[in-house]
Amino acid sequence: MADEAAMHATATGHALSDAAWLDLHFERSRAIYEAIAHAVGLQPGWEVLDAGCGSGSFLPMLAALVGPTGALTALDYDAENVATAERRVAAAPLACPVAFRQGSVTALPFPDGSFDAVWCANVSQYLTDAELIAALAECRRVVRPGGLVAFKESDGLSDTFWPMDPAVHHRLYDACVRGNLIEGPGVVRAAALRRWLERAGLADVRQRLFPEECWAPLSPAERAGAGGSLSYLAVGSEAADIPEGDRAFWQAQVDPAHPDALVNHPEFYRRSGYVLAVGRVPAAG
């Protein structure tokens, strides 16, 4: 249904997961992502798994948190992303050792209790409910008793664009959830991520929403990020069961350079939200 360039897909078929998109998204949101990572509770000397490391954007800040006595392992489902992250760390060594593995969050290739914490950012959106249950079980398995499991995800229900009829956006998300399109179910599910960690048997679970805003006039990074997000939704809308009037609106968003693309409006505004859910692995017995 979708143009690969607009969807920024990797060889895994996951949209918005190639290095170019991940780098752009991270740089645009670096300040808030740093705040989210600091809120997890990682400690110096810890061994941490970055489960779904993408192009490695989070690795420098994770390394700074665990320090020279700590260690990181970076895992991703896409071999190209793993290679990109490994090249970047080789070119600019981090504050601690980093190991790299290809693999799936639903079947982590590590022994029980291998880590003090798992950090899983922007991954759950790609998982079905059954896969999320499996991933949480795996994360709990590979973390030592007392350690942390942290999931960070975009909250689709917080995403707001102006000037735009909110009903148009909501109808698309509803169609995506019903049709299992463009990760709609995953980003809508993020609002209740805490409950999923609780059902996985994690203790002391906490969740926090981190809001982010941008207003016209947009910086180049803001414009690229907002325009890319709208384009992604627009491409996904092609297969969605939505009214024809909504479809015409979304067609104008496919190309951010289109005169009617929302990102070009002089009063453009976007509000996004990121959920951080953190739980502790209960002590044995």
CB 46 within 8 Å of CB 66: yes
At residue 30, the pLDDT reads 85
CB 145 within 8 Å of CB 281: yes
Average pLDDT over residues 158-180: 88
**Is the overall model pTM greater than 0.75, yes or no?**
yes
Pull the structure tokens for residue 8.
Answer: 């920024």
Q: What is the pLDDT of residues 79-135, one digit of tens each?
A: 999 999 999 999 999 999 999 999 999 999 999 999 999 999 999 999 999 999 999
In a domain, 223, yes or no: yes
Rounded Cα distance, 81 and 110, in Å: 19
In a domain, 106, yes or no: yes
At residue 32, the pLDDT reads 92
The CATH number linked to 185 is 3.40.50.150
- Across the chain, mean pLDDT equals 90
For residue 12, pLDDT over 70 is answered with no
Backbone angles phi, psi at 51, to 5 degrees: -90, 100
Please tell me the total count of domains within the chain: 1
Average pLDDT over residues 250-263: 93
DSSP structural state of residue 281: P
In a domain, 285, yes or no: no
At residue 232, the pLDDT reads 85
For residue 187, pLDDT over 90 is answered with no
CB 148 within 8 Å of CB 118: yes
Rounded Cα distance, 63 and 60, in Å: 5
Of 1-5, 30-34, 38-42, 91-95, where does mean pLDDT reach its minimum? 1-5
Domain of 246 in residue numbering reads as: 4-280
CB 177 within 8 Å of CB 188: yes
In a domain, 204, yes or no: yes
In a domain, 229, yes or no: yes
